[in-house]
Amino acid sequence: LHFEIHRPRLTSLDPRVFLANRGITLGSTAPVGSTGYPSVSQGASGWVPRVIQYLVRARGISVVVDGIYGAGTTSAVRSFQSSRGLYADGMVGPITWTALVLPLREGNSGDLVRGLQTALNARGASLLVDGGFGSVTTSAVRAFQSRNGLVADGLVGPVTWSVLI
């Protein structure tokens, strides 16, 4: 069996390298922390691209937060990927998600929290997306964790992020 990947205007690529750069290894299990994370790329719209935009912006890269994964978001994601030594294809897959998310807890503030609040609202919460991780956001995190069989401690670590997204 011969297997290769062709991309427009490029030569054929070794599929093992192509897939490994996106968090997929052939003949093995997925990387730790990758379960639950969707692959998102240009053309997507809705709450997940909005979360990505907040997370990228929290890392100091300018991007409009509009929920549309257009050319600006693709460029911002590429910049983030390059800054972290990741394969810079502009697509947010398991490896990029793992690099984007950071642990959060009550008292944190900013765009990371806005991304969290946006995701929680998409999962049934009714939070004001204000970037402040106060007691109301903590309660929403605990409720989400409890509904999903997670430790309901109000801390948002890699497991909570992967189930949330």
* Residues near 94 by beta carbon (within 8 Å), at least 6 away in sequence: 22, 23, 24, 30, 31, 33, 34, 37, 39
The low-confidence residues of the chain, meaning pLDDT below 70, are: 1-36
| Residue 16: predicted pLDDT | 63
* Domains of the chain, earliest start first: 33-100 (1.10.101.10), 111-164 (1.10.101.10)
0.85 exceeded by pTM: no
d(CA 60, CA 44): 22
| Residue 32: predicted pLDDT | 43
| Residue 33: predicted pLDDT | 42
* H/E run at residue 33: none
Whether the Cβ atoms of residue 125 and residue 144 lie closer than 8 Å to each other = yes
Whether the Cβ atoms of residue 48 and residue 38 lie closer than 8 Å to each other = yes
| Residue 37: predicted pLDDT | 87
